[in-house]
Amino acid sequence: MKKIIEKIKEYYNNILKNNKILNNKENKNISFLNGNFSEKDFLAPAYINFSNPKYAEIDNLYFSSLCVINYYREQTDLILKSIIDTNININISIFYEKQDTYKTIKDLTYHIGNVGADLKTINENRQDMEIAAFTYNDAKYIRREMQINNEELYFLYIYICTYSEDLKELEYILNKIEGIFQSKGMQTRRAYFRQEQAIKACLPLMENNNILKEISKRNVLTSGIVSTYPFISSAIFDEEGIFIGTNIYNNSLVFIDRYNTKKYKNANMCIFGTSGAGKSFYTKILILRYRLLGIEQYIIDPDREYGNLCTHLNGALLKIGPKSDTYINILDIREESIEDDERGYLANKINKLIGFFNLIFGNLNEEEKAILEEKIIELYQNKNINFDDKSLYKEDKNKIIIKPIFKDTYDMPILEDLYHLLEKDDRTKIFAIKLIPFVKGSLSFFNHHTNIEINNKLIIADIYELGEENLKYGMYLFTDLFWDKIKKDRNSKKAIYLDEIWRLIGVTSNKEVASFIYKIFKTIRKYRRK
């Protein structure tokens, strides 16, 4: 705002300066009054119309105000909670006027004496008998609280101002506000013929006009002021967060920083909703905003919904299927698959592969798992890879780098190598048969060395071509790949999106697969992303 005002001032000053120079050149005897543009001129409305006693018109908006004139004698709840939690456009102004304690107690004592004397002589059949008794007891209660419990007496004033572009809508809003206040035991009065004073009272001007005080003044003790506390709106706002929607209760904006480890335990999030509720749209919004912040993102796309988004955001699109020419080897052991302070590349990979082969071979019992693990160990042993992590490193053939480098995908086995091992053993021939589609059949695109290098901060894995039946294999493959990418640098902010994850753990009902997904969600909590 200050920058805008400064630019406007600069613009007008330049005009005045040019006019002055031009004027001096043309006629030095002619002078005119230069104008002045202030902040007040910039903020002031174009017009204000108070001619109608029911509302005020300011810049094509209709304003109308209410004064709270009465309350329940006792309040046990926050009296403004119901109105603040609505999404009505309102301004609320609350004034407290502290009264002199000595004078108040003196006036109360005088009142108690007079009313007490009247109660002794008053005719019990008179209609104001009960009212007089109430005022007598209330005065005694207030005096006792002030004298014994050190309470203070205040005068309370509450004003509400609302506005709309349409008069019918304004009337509807006023009726709604009146109904809400009435349900809380408060009476309101519309500020007819007092609209100007009421609007000023609701502006940050601290102006409480005496005309309004006459109808809205009510007394309250210090303990009663608590019930008027206004800052109870359930808003979620993180300073470094991204906008994800509006609060359905009060229409406030919701900003969440999922990477704020001081406020949230972890950045995990599950998105639930019925078909067509907007789950994918919300996910795309997250991807777009995190892309602007430079956060690394990895998305598994089973329904081909994120391709256009990837194109417009200059991301990397990976496709796997019968028509694709990009391949990823499920048997790859990547350098980032374990962290710097950890050990056990092969052991970690075996655990992942058992989950993958569970999808292909069905639920394996303990004996079958042991036999399969034996074959996997032999498979890597044939490539000179064992449980010693040093076996994953090799010398640089070009001798450019003295330090050993990590083995690449062409140093790893492929599914065909495993197939030949399985068919040689009678115990595992059934496994070899089930592996035929992945080696020689329709899913042979799984039987290749990895031929892509992934360096983009936005990577979308398109597995749509796999079809419903084989979708789980692609989801597991990319989940494994992206999980290694997530672990590469613990200090950078990253996100992995597993769209339609229920297809991987719900439909298959596979314990090993579900355990792998659960491990991802559980382990990621340890990662600081700041």
pLDDT at res. 178: 94
Dist CA 504 CA 510 (whole Å): 8
pLDDT at res. 23: 47
- Three state DSSP letters for 340-408: CCCCCHHHHHHHHHHHHHHHHHCCCCHHHHHHHHHHHHHHHHCCCCCCCHHHHEECCCCCCCCCCEECC
Give the chain's mean pLDDT: 82
Question: What is the radius of gyration, based on Cα positions, of the chain?
Answer: 37
Dist CA 238 CA 263 (whole Å): 9
Got the DSSP string for 195-263?
Answer: HHHHHHHTTTT----HHHHHHH-EEEEHHHHGGG--------B-TT-EEEEE-TTT--EEEE-TT-TTT
pTM for this one? 0.59
Residue labelled with tokens 């955001």: 313
Residue labelled with tokens 């001619």: 51
Looking at the structure, give the CATH architecture of the domain made up of residues 277-326+452-530.
Answer: 3-Layer(aba) Sandwich (3.40)
Q: Where in the chain is the domain with CATH 1.10.8.730?
A: 331-449
Strands 187-190 and 61-70 come out as antiparallel
Residue labelled with tokens 């600081």: 528
Looking at the structure, give the CATH architecture of the domain made up of residues 331-449.
Answer: Orthogonal Bundle (1.10)
Q: Where in the chain is the domain with CATH 3.40.50.300?
A: 277-326+452-530
Residue labelled with tokens 């000023």: 200
SS3 of residue 96 by DSSP: strand
For residue 321, pLDDT over 80 is answered with: yes
pLDDT at res. 159: 95
What angle is formed at CA 326 by the lines to CA 389 and CA 437, rounded to 5 degrees? 85
pLDDT tens per residue across span 368-383:
999 999 999 999 999 9
pLDDT tens per residue across span 419-453:
999 999 889 899 999 999 999 888 999 999 988 87
For residue 21, pLDDT over 50 is answered with: no
Which distant-in-sequence residues (6+ apart) come within 8 Å of 86 by Cβ? 176, 180, 249, 250
- Taking the CA atoms of residue 370, residue 374, residue 376 and residue 380 in that order, the dihedral angle to the nearest 10 degrees is 150
